[in-house]
Amino acid sequence: MPNKTREFFKEKKLWSVYKDKILGNYLKPYFQKMSISSNSTIYIDGFAGKGVFDDGSKGSPLIVKDILVNIQKSSTNKKKKIFPAFIENKYANELESNLNDKNFKVFNSDYKTKVNEILHKNINKYNIFLYVDPFGIKDIDFNIFKLLASNNKSSELLLNLNSFGFIREGCRNLKVAIDEDIEVSAGDYEESSGNDIQNMNKIANGSEWQQIVSEIGKTINGKKAERLFVELYLKKLGEIFRYVFAVPIRTRDTLVPKYQIIFATNHHHGAFIMLDTMLKCDVEMTRNGQNGQMSLFDYENTKSNINTEILSLLDRDKWINCRDLCFKLFNKYKIYFIKDVRAAIKELEKEGKIIVDRHNKTTKTGQQSLALDFVKSDINLKRN
């Protein structure tokens, strides 16, 4: 059998470009904020890879290094506040050589062993950001995410989940026929070695996935099974993190997701930044063409529904915080730029369709406040 991971590093595929763009664009403001935090931060890349693709493209470790070096250069505080940890058990020596900096620690270890060691040693002491981008799905362990979420400091998770790969493995283990959508979308990496039903339950934090997979070919197809599994997975993460959402990465030659990028945090600031980061990345890639890569979704078409969507989530007798409203929209996969949510609220208020209760009812000059900065302030809405 060919070495699939070695083949992976021959060139950087479009979906890897997109994943790294999201990671890098989010980590810039995240690291800037954490560099002045009262608590130090540990950044963990669980499947770091070589750091550089054979075509010269940078992988996530070198992207992270560039960001941290630039922040350190511009910072007046030279005290180290962010500690990067890269876990890689196949290409650790190559990664260490490519990083070429003793401040960027490479652990030659398997993901589960090392990440559990780091978390148990540092939980409740450091802010922690965990990036999980495995070649398949068998090394994902939901218990690690539970441990991360238990941190009483800031904890954030960015997971690239091969959801169709999970469904394919579920079919293999439950002896369910694999349909074309699953076969095309699940990827090239073989998972059969050491991946049984018990391990699948650890990945999914329970056995509910088995009912979804068992219905393939009966009441649902592979596409529907993937959607149901992602909803289930987000629900499970939502039980341990406050804000959880996913955006699919699709390749240009198929309508089904190549990956699901899943983000989880307990802080609304981080969640808002990540959502805008994902959208900006998608719009930019669509505009630039990127060899014809298809957009994740037609944003302009989606945006035309924003007023109706907002009204559908409002009640005449109950106030809702603008932040909670945003995340209700996001969880229905109607993802909007924050500026567009703010513009829609302003328009609906002007039309008299909603009532806005602002924290500061007047400005410093005594004028009626029209501010809608619900990221920083508590602003509530209800239908008029």
- 307 and 286 in one domain? no
For residues 22 and 156, state if they share a domain.
Answer: yes
Range in 34-48, 111-125, 237-251, 324-338 the model is least confident about? 324-338
pLDDT bracket for residue 360 (50, 70, 90)? low
- pLDDT for res 290: 44
Q: Is the pLDDT of residue 103 over 80?
A: yes
When pLDDT is cut at 50, 70 and 90, the band that residue 105 belongs to is very high
The residue out of 262, 292, 322 marking a domain boundary is 292
The amino acid at 284: E
Residue 129 shares a structural domain with residue 271: yes
| Same domain assignment for residues 279 and 154 | yes
Residues 48 and 154 in one domain: yes
Q: Is the domain of 117 the same as that of 265?
A: yes
What six digits make up the tokens of 256? 């089904």
Q: Check which CATH number belongs to the domain holding 106 and give it.
A: 3.40.50
Same domain assignment for residues 162 and 307: no
What's the confidence (pLDDT) of residue 163?
Answer: 92
163 and 309 together in one domain: no
Contact between 378 and 321 (Cβ < 8 Å): yes
Secondary structure of residue 380 in the 3-state scheme: strand
Task: Tell me how many domains the chain contains.
Answer: 2
What is the structure's pLDDT at 88?
96
For residues 26-47, average pLDDT = 94
Instruction: State the CATH number of the domain containing residue 377.
Output: 1.10.10
Pick the closest to residue 307 from 334, 272, 277, 278 (CA basis). Answer: 334
Torsion region of 25: left, alpha or beta (phi above 0 gives left; psi -120 to 50 gives alpha): alpha
Average pLDDT over residues 194-219: 96
Write down which residue in 292, 316, 351 finishes a domain. Answer: 292
Cα radius of gyration rounded to whole Å, the chain: 22
| Predicted pLDDT of residue 220 | 96
What is the extent of the structural domain holding 317?
299-383
Query: What is the average pLDDT score of the chain?
Result: 86
Q: Are residues 238 and 114 in the same domain?
A: yes
Per-residue pLDDT tens for 110-156?
A: 999 999 999 999 999 999 999 999 988 999 999 999 999 999 999 99
Which has the minimum average pLDDT: 62-76, 105-119, 208-222? 62-76
Residue 189 sits in the same domain as residue 308: no
| The domain boundary residue, chosen from 292, 310, 340 | 292
Q: Mean pLDDT check: name the lowest of 173-177, 269-273, 363-367.
A: 363-367
Least confident of 68-82, 91-105, 233-247: 68-82
Name beta bridge partners: 257. Answer: 250
In sequence order, the 6+-apart residues with CB closer than 8 A to the CB of 84 are: 42, 43, 45, 61, 64, 65, 68, 103, 104, 105
Res 367: pLDDT: 62
Q: Report pLDDT for 365.
A: 63
DSSP 8-state secondary structure symbol assigned to residue 291: G
Residue 364: per-residue pLDDT:
64
Beta bridge partners of 244: 264
pTM of the model: 0.87
Same domain membership, residue 220 and residue 86: yes
Predicted confidence band of residue 236 (pLDDT cuts 50, 70, 90): very high
Q: Are residues 208 and 346 in the same domain?
A: no
Residues of the chain with pLDDT > 70, as a percent, come to 84
pLDDT for the residue numbered 292: 46
| 139-143 LR contacts (CB < 8 Å, sep 24+) | 139/47, 139/110, 139/111, 139/112, 140/203, 141/112, 141/202, 141/203, 142/202, 142/203, 142/204, 142/205, 142/236, 143/202, 143/205
